[in-house]
Amino acid sequence: MPDDDTENVNNLKLIKRVEALCKDDDYTLMQAAEIEKIIWGSEIYIEENSFSTSHQTVNVHGEPERRYEIRSEEEAVDVQIHNETGANQ
C-alpha cells in the first residue's frame, strides 16, 4: 500500500478508497518488515530468500538460487515459489 508520501498518491483513487474502507473500522497499521518478523522471525526474510532478474528469452530451469524467484520485464512479472526440495509449488 503506498503511503501518503508517495508521489501523486491522491491520483490513485481506488487505492485511497480501499484505504478509507480499511480505516473505517478497528485496524492496525504495520510496516512490511514488522509483518515479516511476525510470520518468519526476520524483518528481511523476503529479501534474504528472493532472487530477481529480467525475463529470459527461453525458460531454463535448474536448481533455484532462492526460495522466491522474480523475473520481470516492462509488460510482465513472474514469481516462482520453490518448496524446500527445490520443486515449484
Three-state SS for 34-76 is HHHHHHHCCCCHHHHCEEEEECCCCCCCCCCCCCEEEEEECCE
Residue 50 pairs in a beta bridge with 68
**pLDDT of 85:** 53
**pLDDT of 64:** 76
The reported pTM is: 0.54
**pLDDT of 86:** 45
What tens-digit pLDDT sequence spans the chain (89 residues)?
A: 778 888 888 888 888 888 888 888 788 888 999 999 999 999 999 999 888 887 777 766 677 778 888 888 888 888 888 886 544 54
**pLDDT of 87:** 47
**pLDDT of 34:** 96
